[in-house]
Chains A and B, each alone.
Chain A
Amino acid sequence: MMMNNSLRNQCKARPGTVIKGKWYKNEYKVIKELGFGANGIVYLAECQGREVALKVSDNSMSISSEMNILKSFTKVQGSALGPSLLSVDDWVNQGVTLPFYVMEYIKGESYLDFLKYKGTSWAIVLILQLLKNLSLLHQSGWVFGDLKPENLIISSPSCQVRCVDVGGTTLVGRSIKEFTEFFDRGYWGLGSRKAEPSYDLFAVAMIFLNSYYPNRFTKKSEGYSQLSQAIKGKKELKMYEPVLEKALLGKYSTADEMRKELMAAANLNMDSSRQKQAPSRTSYQTPTRKRKKGKTKGGLLESMLLVVLISIVYMVYIYTKLL
């Protein structure tokens, strides 16, 4: 849903515009627009030499509601749940009072763009990260709600998934107020719109599908069969079929549970792809440049040892990164 034009015009601020808070008098210099949606426009701005993100809207309900959520996030320890909230204020623009809030600017690429540049092999890593974030979010009593690639930013340079746009975030047990059809289990006839962890986990599975179907697709039939076909249609998804199926059917009650099984499947897949590579290196039928170097028996043993060592180091690296 696009927001209406009058709102867009009212909240419009050109680069260089100084937004001054009515209550706290802080000044924010607009650098550029970061994005807009149904509830307002988000700007990159500068305040006392620091880059911040600033969301302006004409709807004080939604701004205040998001402020409440972000505020409650800051009470969660070690939180990377959403961008941290810095300030809330009003901007009087040509006689019209527009509420806004200021938050941490998360620099990086949105999920699908990131995959486009870096390759879809990142998808599994990002999904595992996302599940870790969600676990914390759920444990603090919230369900993200409108979970979709557009609301995920991969921060640079650390390549960590961060969720932005908490407009759909809902207390566990209440009803989901904002959603996007492709990621909504209700749309696919696979569950209610009650805010519970499994609602988000369905969306996570759909984000995984979206990684390999960047254009998404629309519903042809109710229920699981179409999604199941989609999973079978891509070998990168098929590897994770049992986990995805459970998530889509609402069989995981916690993000940790799903993460554990996804991790196990990922390790299995990496093992098997390593095994597939290993024989080709030692086989004599298809000589490669690498093998030519290690012609002697000792050299062959050495390179095999090296391969094993490197894969162990790699596994340890992946583990420490993800756990």
Chain B
Amino acid sequence: MNPGTLKQILLITDGCSNHGEDPSAMAAFAREQGITVNVIGVMEQDVIDQKGMQEIQSIAQTGGGVSQVVYTSQLSQTVQMVTRKAMTQTIQGVVNKELQQILGRSKTMDDLPPEKRGEVVEVVEELGETAGLEVLVLVDTSASMTHKLPTVKEALLDLSLSLNARIGENKFSVFVFPGKKSDVEKLLDWTPNLEALTKVFSKLSTGGMTPTGPALREALSYFKKKRSLRSLLSNDDEQFFEESV
């Protein structure tokens, strides 16, 4: 099985969007293109309101990803866990598809006897370890996030430490919203590790609206741009996951 490349958007936010299109719709749109959207809600002592909570869950659900609301202090562990969980989920989706072709409709891994399941899991784990991974990180920098940003930075460095221990290749890019001039601003172009983040993050200014939907839309187009460029160069063998999800 060709592991191909897994594509994820990781949205880190602390509340409700208040500008532009519905973020859940954008997440669903991303999913249609084989890009998983994961959402992490960060809270301080303050509790995220019901509406914010719902939005976070809804974005991840429609985006085919994983969501988790955490206190700032648990961010590092959560970021890596959510990313890994989403990877496994995607791969499991692919493997289940293959199983259905072999076993017939509506059969999934859980219908197999426990021993056989073990063999499937081995394949899933192997793929998770070796697959290429692209994570576009989208960080909410509206005013209320200001004092959480140092922890966000730590968590992202920690994420790159975790994922770079894998055998497969990783690429990360980082965007913030709202940007200085537009809804979203690129901080870091595709790079295998996030070390460079340390410098750019300290210069960040915060404030303004929370245009989560437009930010997601922009992020998506960034994946696309890169892909069309790449597919010109190589015969795109990266469609594997996208088709099967």
Contacts and interface: CB of A to CB of B under 8 A. Distances in A.
Interface of A: 1, 23, 60-61, 64-65, 67-68, 71, 88-90, 97, 99, 101, 173-177, 181, 186-187, 192-195
Contacts of B125: 65
B158 interface: yes
A97 to B, nearest CB: 7
Interface residues of B, number: 29
A175 B122 contact: no
A90 B115 CA distance: 11
Interface string B111-136: 00111011011101100010000000
B122 A68 contact: yes
A99 B114 contact: yes
Given A64-B114, A90-B114, A175 B166 contact: yes
Q: Is the interface of A mostly helix, strand, loop or mixed?
A: mixed
A46 B32 CA distance: 49
Interface centre among A61, A174, A176 (most CB of B within 10 A): A61
A68 B118 contact: yes
Contacts of A174: 129, 165-167
Given A99-B117, A174-B166, A186-B158, 16 more contacts: A1-B74, A1-B78, A61-B88, A61-B92, A64-B118, A64-B121, A67-B114, A67-B118, A88-B118, A99-B110, A99-B114, A173-B167, A181-B76, A187-B76, A192-B161, A194-B165
B37 interface: no
Contact of A193 (B120, B129, B161, B167): B161
A63 B11 CA distance: 29
Contacts of B118: 64-65, 67-68, 71, 88
A175 B170 CA distance: 13
Contacts of B121: 61, 64-65, 68
Contacts of A195: 165
Contacts of A23: 113-114
11 contacts: A1-B78, A23-B114, A61-B121, A64-B118, A65-B125, A88-B114, A88-B115, A174-B166, A175-B167, A186-B162, A194-B165
Contacts of B167: 173-175
B174 to A, nearest CB: 20
A186 B125 CA distance: 22
Given A60-B109, A61-B124, A175 B165 contact: yes
Contacts of B76: 181, 187
A305 B166 CA distance: 60
Nearest to A90: B114
B193 to A, nearest CB: 11
Interface centre among B74, B88, B165 (most CB of A within 10 A): B165
Contacts of B164: 192
Nearest to A68: B118
Contacts of B92: 61
A262 B78 CA distance: 35
A193 B84 CA distance: 14
Nearest to B122: A68
Contacts of B115: 88
A186 B161 contact: yes
Contacts of A177: 84
A64 B88 CA distance: 14
A60 B115 CA distance: 11
A177 B84 CA distance: 8
A177 B124 CA distance: 14
Contacts of B162: 175-176, 186, 193
A-B pairs, 9 with minimum CB distance: A175-B165, A88-B114, A193-B165, A64-B121, A175-B166, A194-B165, A64-B117, A68-B118, A64-B118
A116 to B, nearest CB: 27
B86 to A, nearest CB: 13
Contact of A175 (B74, B124, B129, B158): B129
B163 A175 contact: yes
Contacts of A68: 118, 121-122
A270 to B, nearest CB: 39
A187 B77 CA distance: 10
A9 B37 CA distance: 28
Contacts of A194: 165
B120 to A, nearest CB: 7
Contacts of B88: 61
